Amino acid sequence: MSEKGSNLSKRVVFDHDRGTMFRFATGHSFVTIPVGQREDELACCWLLDECHSWTIAFLHIDELQWKKLVDGAPKGKVLVRFSTSGYHPAELEKSEALCLRCLKKTTKLSSSDIGTLVAVLNDSTDILRKRQVPSGLADLISFREPHRLRSLETLLGAVMAAWSLGHKGADERKKAKEALCLDMTPPVPPDGFTERSSLWRHLGFSQDATKVDSYVIKMTDELSLELGVKDLLDDPKLGRPLTDLLVSLSQKPYDEEVDFAVAVRSFNALRRYLKSR
Amino acid sequence: MTDHEWSRARSDFNHGWLKNRFVVALYRADRIVSGAVVDETGFDALWALLREWPERLRDAFELVDWYSRIADPSLGDRKECSASYLQSVTVLRWQQAERPELKTRVAIEALEVLDAEICASTHLSAESVGRLRVKAQSLASAISDLTALRVPGF
């Protein structure tokens, strides 16, 4: 097929090792960023200064320059970072551009991997922005899913539903209903649904009261990991409400309910966080 | 079919076939009929994909059918034990946020419109290729909008 116009210069590559990724990318018509092999900083400057001349960039570049690109690359650009050791699934980078990390080690990449990435990135960036990965890309791109945060939000939603109907005062019923934002009337909960022991069970822990401290430690670790912070309290939005929730969940007696205000605050914070992702 | 299997099947149809093959073939055909490129065999891939359509149409209807079953309001009525209470509330919340009945309608309409256009396409002209492309992209958008409900143990 002969083309009268060319879009090929829209794909660029920089690889400070000039290794497998570089070889396959140039084989797929990527243009080499005009800097020296080890000049990561210059490559970064070129990408930011010459935004008009590229759309997709495949990069094997150091962390500092990658962060600058994540901060500075404009909307409409797609950057894929490669590494000799590959990357673990992570949160989608907060960036105007679509910034992805390839799971596969550069040494394990094949030419068809690069071809698959190009085909999808030419067409399906909208779905990747929603953290959905087309099945053909599953072993190349993946996002970390906040399963624990989601299950906590789901559980607290059901607690709000129970409280919006239940035995609490009119003011609390109203607050729970407002937090839930559900137009339909939820079903009546079974007895004991909102008790602490029931909530632990729904979070996947047994009802062994002697182990609650270890549940709190495990939950704290899992939530911190999903939020990408070392200490749960380091997260500015969810740290405090979730810590308060875990404290309330760990208090005796376990056949009583979790603190109402704490649960509502946690639910609202979780819902906002998950909606904004 | 689990939600994971459904998501995979949706991706296979929507990305693997519709967007990455069918729409790409239509773009290529568009450029051939407009004279932008010269490609003597450029229509072959498109004709082959058009022949696959009846099978793909069945796949797509199955996807929408699976999704529409979660739209059934009776799914939110289960409350025999606390686990299914959790699921019931989650289904109700998802139904309110997702509006699955509306999205099902849009997807089925887009499927029927594209099917009618394909059935009418006995020859390829600039106009028919353009119409096919617009309708295929509408269908891709409608299918992308369907989001599976994810409830542990559901």
Task: Please tell me the predicted confidence (pLDDT) of residue B77.
Answer: 55
Which positions ≥6 away from A212 have C-beta within 8 Å?
A200, A249, A250, A254
ipTM over 0.95: no
Q: Are residues A23 and A87 in the same domain?
A: yes
CB within 8 Å of A210: residues ≥ 6 apart: none
pLDDT of res. B73:
58
Which positions in chain A touch B23 (Cβ < 8 Å)?
123
pLDDT for residue A267: 98
The percentage of residues in chain A with a pLDDT greater than 90, rounded to a whole number, is: 70
Question: What value, to the nearest 5°, has the Cα angle with vertex A184 and ends A179 and A190?
Answer: 80
Judge whether B107 lies within some domain.
yes
Q: Is there a domain that residue B66 lies in?
A: yes
Residue A214 lies inside a defined structural domain of this protein: yes
How many domains does chain A divide into? 2
Q: Are A106 and A35 contained in the same domain? A: yes
Residues A264-276: what's their mean pLDDT?
A: 94
In a domain? residue B149 = no
Domain termination site, one of A137, A155, A188: A137
Residue of A2, A122, A127, A147 best to disrupt the B interface, most CBs of B under 10 A: A127
Average pLDDT on A241-270 reads: 95
pLDDT at B39: 80
Query: For position A74, which CATH number holds?
Result: 3.40.50
User: Does residue A112 lie within any of the structural domains?
Assistant: yes
Residues A187, B7: C-beta atoms closer than 8 Å: no
* Same domain membership, residue A157 and residue A130: no
Structural domain containing residue B118: 3-144
Give the DSSP letter of residue A210.
G
Q: Do B82 and A184 count as a contact with CB atoms less than 8 A apart?
A: no
Look at residue B7 and tell me if it is in a domain.
Answer: yes
User: Within this chain, do residues A104 and A205 fall inside the same structural domain, yes or no?
Assistant: no
Task: Give the model's pLDDT for residue A2.
Answer: 38
Q: Is the pLDDT of residue B31 over 70?
A: yes
Is the bond into A253 cis (omega within 30 degrees of 0)? yes
Does residue B79 surpass a pLDDT of 60? no
Task: Kindly state whether A163 is in contact with chain B, defined as any CB-CB distance less than 8 angstroms.
Answer: no
Residue A46: per-residue pLDDT: 96
Residue A75 within any structural domain of the chain: yes
- Domain span at A118: 8-137
Given a cut of 90, whether residue B91 has pLDDT beyond it is no
The answer on A163 and A54 residing in a single domain is no
pLDDT at A89: 87
Pair (A126, A19) in one structural domain:
yes
Q: Rg of the Cα trace of chain A? A: 24
Q: Which residues pair with A11 in a beta bridge?
A: A56
Residue B71: the pLDDT is 67
The number of folded domains in chain B is 1
Q: Are residues A128 and A249 in the same domain?
A: no
Query: Do A260 and A241 have their domain in common?
Result: yes
Query: Tell me, what's the pLDDT at B3?
Result: 78
Looking at residues B51-58, what average pLDDT do you find? Answer: 96
**Is the minimum CB–CB distance between A132 and chain B shorter than 8 Å?**
yes
Domain assignment of residue A208, yes or no: yes
Closest CA to A232 of A241, A220, A244: A220
Closest Cβ–Cβ partner in B39, B89, B151 for A1: B39
In this prediction, residue A265 has a pLDDT band, given cuts at 50, 70 and 90, of: very high
Mean pLDDT of A252-264: 93
Of A100, A116, A137, the last residue of a domain is: A137
Identify any residues that bridge with A81 across adjacent strands, giving them in sequence order.
A59, A101
Residues B132-141 pLDDT 10s? 999 999 999 9
Distance CA A90, CA A88 (A): 6
Q: Which band of pLDDT confidence, cut at 50, 70 and 90, is reported for residue B42? A: confident
Same domain (yes/no): A109, A20: yes
Q: Does B12 reside within a domain?
A: yes
A2 part of a folded domain: no
Q: What percent of chain B has pLDDT over 70?
A: 88
